[in-house]
Every structure is written in C-alpha cells, then in structure tokens.
Amino acid sequence: MSSILKSCAAIPADDDARPLPARAALVERLARVVPRAEIALALPQLERIAALKAARGAVVVAHNYQIPLITAGIADFVGDSLTMARYAARSGAPVIVVCGVHFMAESVKLLCPDKTVLLPDFGAGCSLAASVTPEDIRALRQRHPDSPVVAYVNTSAAVKAEADICCTSANAVAVARSLGRPHLIMVPDRHLADYVARMTGLEVATSGGQCEVHVKYAGTDIEEYRRVTGAVVLAHPECPREVQEQADFVGSTGAMDEYIETRRPPRVLLLTECSMADNVMLRHPRIEFLKPCNLCGFMKAINLDNVERVLARPETAIEIDPAIAARARRPIERMLAL
C-alpha cells in the first residue's frame, strides 16, 4: 500500500548542547511557511517539549494536517493515520503522543496495546468518524446481508470492531477488489465509497457520512483556479465527485505527496486540509502551492500548549475496552495482510 514514511528531526533537549547550525536550519526551514517572529516566540516551548519527551521516553507522531510548528518542530514522525500507528508500533518508546484526532489515537492504541498513548486534547474529534455508529453498521448488515463491511480507518474502535476489514484512502480500491464480491458496504464516507464504486464497478452501499472539510470544495472553483493559475489540481477522494472529476489527480495524502515528488509540477493546488500544503511545501520548497484554505477545527485543537501539558502531566491516556480492541484489531490485521 502507499504510505508516507517521512521522519521530521526532533529538537535536542539540551539547548546548551544544541549545535547552532541545527537550530538555524530549523528556523530557516520553518520560515518558509511560518513568520519568523512566531518561530522566535515558539522556540523556548519547543525546547521544553523536547526536554519532556526525553524525560518521558516519549515520541510524538503527527498527522499531515497538523501545523508546521508541530510537524517540523516536535514530531518524530509525520504521516497519515495508519502510518502514524505503524511507526508507533515499531518504535521502542513506552509513551506515544498523538498529534491528531481521537480515532487516530485509538488506532495507535490498537497497534500498541502495551504503550501509554496520550492525546493532548480529548475534544479533538472528527466529523466523519462521528457520522457512523456500531448500530448503523448492524442495520446496514440487515439490509445487505451478503455484503462484507469495509470500515475506513477514519472510524472509532467500536465501529472497526463491527467490520470485516479496514481500508485507507490509499488502499480502498485494492481492499474492495480483494474481497472478490460484487457488492459491499463501505463506511462512513459516501464520497470515498462512490470513488471506489466508480473505480471497481462494484455495488457499494454506505452510511452516507462525509468530512466537513473536504465537502467545502466545489468543482466550479477548480475550473477558474486552473484557468487563472495553470496549476495542477490534486484532490482527496473525500471530496465530492464533481471535484474529483475536475482534478488532475485523485488520491490520499500520501499519494499526493508521491505525485508531487515524482512529477515535480511547478504549481500545485491541493484540495485537502489546509495545513497539508504547508507541510508538503517544507519538503518541496521550489514548488508553488496555492491554498484555497479549508481548516479542520478538530485537528487545530492540538497545539504546543496542550502537547506540553500532556507530557508534563500525563493524567489521561487512551483506553479501549479489551473486548472491543480485540475485535477491532482483526479488520486492521486483515487489511495489513493484503
């Protein structure tokens, strides 16, 4: 499956031991997308967080939609929700701080049951994950008794526990084809389900959820942007069909990054969460990124203040009922075995 496995350098805990070029390099890198005054104000906090990470034996995993002060400033790994969890599982760290939303922290806990998994803000939810419940899946199974259930990783552990197999936006088509069935249930994103149906010719039932960020984009916007800027348009499959049909490429955040790395278009319009463009820009400074910016408020609930707080006082951690966790791991393991 396609994935982003891009590590971001952590800041040394001991400021006196920090080589000046390393600090300067961090500032120069961040300055591509963050005002220098903001970087200067953040540096002492970045150093405190680095010291707390060292004291706790913690690593920080961050989603592509987090701000650059997190992804480049404190994260040990940056990627999509599944690759974050897989990195955490491979890491020898006993404590994992998840800079993402609640279902992502649950995914980390599912793959790292013996580690302490910390989410800086338990209010960091997800409109898409909240759109489907275990009861919804059971009702869909009653209406489509012969259809296997594919749960997008953007779901709670309780929902995954009701599924036959999981998928990511990168491997959804491959997962659907692997089932060898003419029809299936895919929850919760209706736009991803529609994309899979079009790519495979399968009959796909869905619960009808959608991401509040990606549905803000419209196909009519793309035509005008392309006419004025000549940009290559990359869209996430959580966007509506009209957007996907107008885009030059449709794919996951990892696939977008790979497309940019391979094709190196001079000007790019990314139709996904706004911070993704900032983070890709850090890796590709010679490419011009246009941002019709749609932010995820849930992702932005994570910030340097609550990361520092949860490391200083790790009083709350992600816990999953063992019976649910055991059932939720099975569809993830089935997906990873493909």
Please determine, for residue 239, whether its predicted confidence score (pLDDT) is greater than 90: yes
- In sequence order, the β-bridge partners of residue 290 are 269
pLDDT of 221 reads 72
Please determine, for residue 58, whether its predicted confidence score (pLDDT) is greater than 70: yes
The answer to whether the 15-125+299-312 and 129-209 domains have the same CATH topology is yes
Among candidate residues 181, 180, 175, the one with its CA nearest the CA of residue 195: 175
Please determine, for residue 14, whether its predicted confidence score (pLDDT) is greater than 70: no
Tokens representing residue 21 in the block:
């070029």
- In sequence order, the β-bridge partners of residue 232 are 268
- Write out the CATH class of domain 214-290: alpha beta
pLDDT of 226 reads 85
Please determine, for residue 15, whether its predicted confidence score (pLDDT) is greater than 50: no
Please determine, for residue 188, whether its predicted confidence score (pLDDT) is greater than 70: yes
- In sequence order, the β-bridge partners of residue 150 are 165, 186
Q: Where are the beta strands (DSSP E) in 14-135?
A: 58-63, 77-79, 95-99, 116-118
Please determine, for residue 326, whether its predicted confidence score (pLDDT) is greater than 90: yes
pLDDT of 52 reads 97
**Gap between the Cα atoms of 309 and 140, Å rounded:** 42
Mind giving me the DSSP string for 161-194?
A: TT-SEEE-TTTHHHHHHHT--SEEEEESBHHHHH
Q: What percent of the chain has pLDDT over 90?
A: 75
**Gap between the Cα atoms of 217 and 242, Å rounded:** 9
Please determine, for residue 16, whether its predicted confidence score (pLDDT) is greater than 50: no
Please determine, for residue 13, whether its predicted confidence score (pLDDT) is greater than 60: no
pLDDT of 130 reads 96
Q: What are the angstrom distances between the C-alpha of 44 and each of 9, 15, 40? A: 17, 9, 8
Average pLDDT, integer, range 189-203: 97
Domain boundaries, the chain: 15-125+299-312, 129-209, 214-290
Helix or strand (DSSP H, E) at 267: strand 267-271
Q: What is the pLDDT of residues 86-137, one digit of tens each?
A: 999 999 999 999 999 999 999 999 999 999 999 999 999 999 999 999 999 9
- Write out the CATH class of domain 15-125+299-312: alpha beta
Residues in the chain: 338
Among candidate residues 139, 137, 95, 104, the one with its CA nearest the CA of residue 122: 104
pLDDT of 285 reads 86
Assigned architecture for domain 129-209? 3-Layer(aba) Sandwich (3.40)
For 257, the 3-state DSSP assignment is: helix
Q: What is the pLDDT of residues 256-281, one digit of tens each?
A: 989 999 999 999 998 888 898 888 88
**Gap between the Cα atoms of 70 and 73, Å rounded:** 5
Alpha-carbon 61 to chain mean position? 10
In the block, tokens 């399968």 appear at: 202
Q: Which residues, other chains included, contact 79 with Cβ-Cβ below 8 Å and sequence gap of 6+?
A: 3, 4, 5, 6, 61, 63, 64, 87, 254
